[in-house]
Amino acid sequence: MSQVSEFFQDRIQVNSLLIVLCFVAVLGLSSQSAASYPTYFLALAMLFSFRHWNDVFAVNMVWLISALLLYLAFTSFWSEPSDARHALSSFIRAILVFCFVVAFAECQLRGLVQRWLGRGVAIAGGIAAVVAIAVFLITQPADGRLMGLGQLDNQVIVALILGVVLIFILEIIMLESANAWRIPALVCAIFIIAAVYLSDSRNAWASVLIGALVFVFAHVIKDRQKYVAALVALVVILVVVLAALYANETTREIPLPRGSSFRLGIWMATLSDVWTNGIVFGRGILTSDDVLVDDRVWRHPHNMFLAVLFQGGLVALILFLALLVKTIKTLFENYELDDAKLALGVLGVALPSYLLDGHELVDKVGETWFLFWLPVAISVGLSWSQAHRRHPQIAPDI
């Protein structure tokens, strides 16, 4: 009982539990509003303990994150239509994302990602994969594609989130010495790979494979420069293989079984819209991003970079790309650390997928939190640690 009491008296341990509950809520609750309750508790806990972590603002990246989140929230004022209630909701979502990033960064500083937080995510994701496969086998969906539970009601999203879980599981397999953890992790990995395969999403297949290879390469290749060379070679090989498959009519359906899914038309229509109506400052985060292509309405630009451009224009896109570059640079600077390699693996899943999908960088808890904001949070934690080493007076209360 004393250990339980000590756990709940430790705010960072409690925050790490709330983060796992956020992940479980995404996996298990179909209502995004219901799934957001753990994030509200997390945000309140962080805001009430502001004096314990306000030194995080000594990290330059935190100002970049703040600028991106606040700017995207401010675009609600020139959105069409715009109203006070939805504008307030945009700012609340930005605050929730920021609190999640700082809370996860503190957990990373404490070492909880390696101790139990990562294991909690792996267990929750493994169970979700088993249940999703069982539901798929029982219901036999008409389109023959696996869909997840909770908010993972899209074949691509469920496969990508499970791809993130796979990175956590691979870390357990590669770093854990006890078979009591490695064997269950291996079993979970098999189920997750099966679930990703059953999603029948070529985007997810390629993105999860790239993320897994990025992660494994990071642990196998000790030299940073050789690692970068290996990643470049991987990209070149994948591009050549995809180009060869697409060039041959008999193999074209392997990478694109449903054709291009109107992607090029969607992208061009989105670019035309934002170029005409708001290339610098964007159309606004609340403006409908529906796209009409060949008499069919598509719900969003199907590209995260275009979605950011649509919502916030060149200002938001530059901030987003700057944050992405800073995140990757920080991870490479800390290449020898296991958390940095974990974050690189997650980004390896996210970035390829964002070329063909993604539409809301700032939202309530969902796939973007774990595909993008999680590796950003790890990068913040690593930078925070560096700032403390350079300036000992900057000491997060961990």
Hey, how many other C-beta atoms are within 10 angstroms of the C-beta on 190? 12
The domains of the chain are located at 2-219+261-390
- pLDDT one-digit tens code per residue, 108-119: 998 888 888 888
* Model pLDDT, residue 73: 94
Q: Residue 257 pLDDT more than 60? A: no
Query: What's at 342, amino acid-wise?
Result: L
* Model pLDDT, residue 397: 59
Query: Do 149 and 28 form a contact (C-beta atoms < 8 A)?
Result: yes
Least confident of 181-185, 286-290, 296-300: 296-300
When pLDDT is cut at 50, 70 and 90, the band that residue 238 belongs to is confident
Rounded to an integer, what distance in angstroms lies between the CA atom of residue 312 and that of residue 77? Answer: 12
List C-alpha distances in Å: 44 to 19, 31, 41, 291: 13, 21, 5, 37
- pLDDT one-digit tens code per residue, 292-321: 766 666 677 878 999 999 999 999 999 999
The whole-model pTM stands at 0.92
Report the chain's C-alpha Rg in angstroms: 21
Cβ burial, residue 248 (10 Å; 0-12/13-18/19+)? exposed
List C-alpha distances in Å: 262 to 160, 352, 377: 21, 18, 34
Rounded to an integer, what distance in angstroms lies between the CA atom of residue 363 and that of residue 67? Answer: 16
DSSP single-letter state for residue 283: S
What's the whole-number average pLDDT of the chain?
86
Residue tagged 């991987």 (tokens): 234
Here the tokens at position 94 are 């930005």
Hey, how many other C-beta atoms are within 10 angstroms of the C-beta on 224? 13
Q: Per-residue pLDDT averaged across 216-231, rounded?
A: 92
Residue 389 makes CB contacts below 8 A (sequence gap 6+) with none
Q: Residue 156 pLDDT more than 90? A: no
Rounded to an integer, what distance in angstroms lies between the CA atom of residue 362 and that of residue 320? Answer: 11
Partners of 296 in the β-ladder: 293
Hey, is 293 helix, strand or coil? strand
252 compared with 142, residue with greater pLDDT: 142
Cβ burial, residue 63 (10 Å; 0-12/13-18/19+)? exposed
Rounded to an integer, what distance in angstroms lies between the CA atom of residue 212 and that of residue 346? Answer: 8
Q: Residue 383 pLDDT more than 90? A: yes
Rounded to an integer, what distance in angstroms lies between the CA atom of residue 143 and that of residue 86? Answer: 35
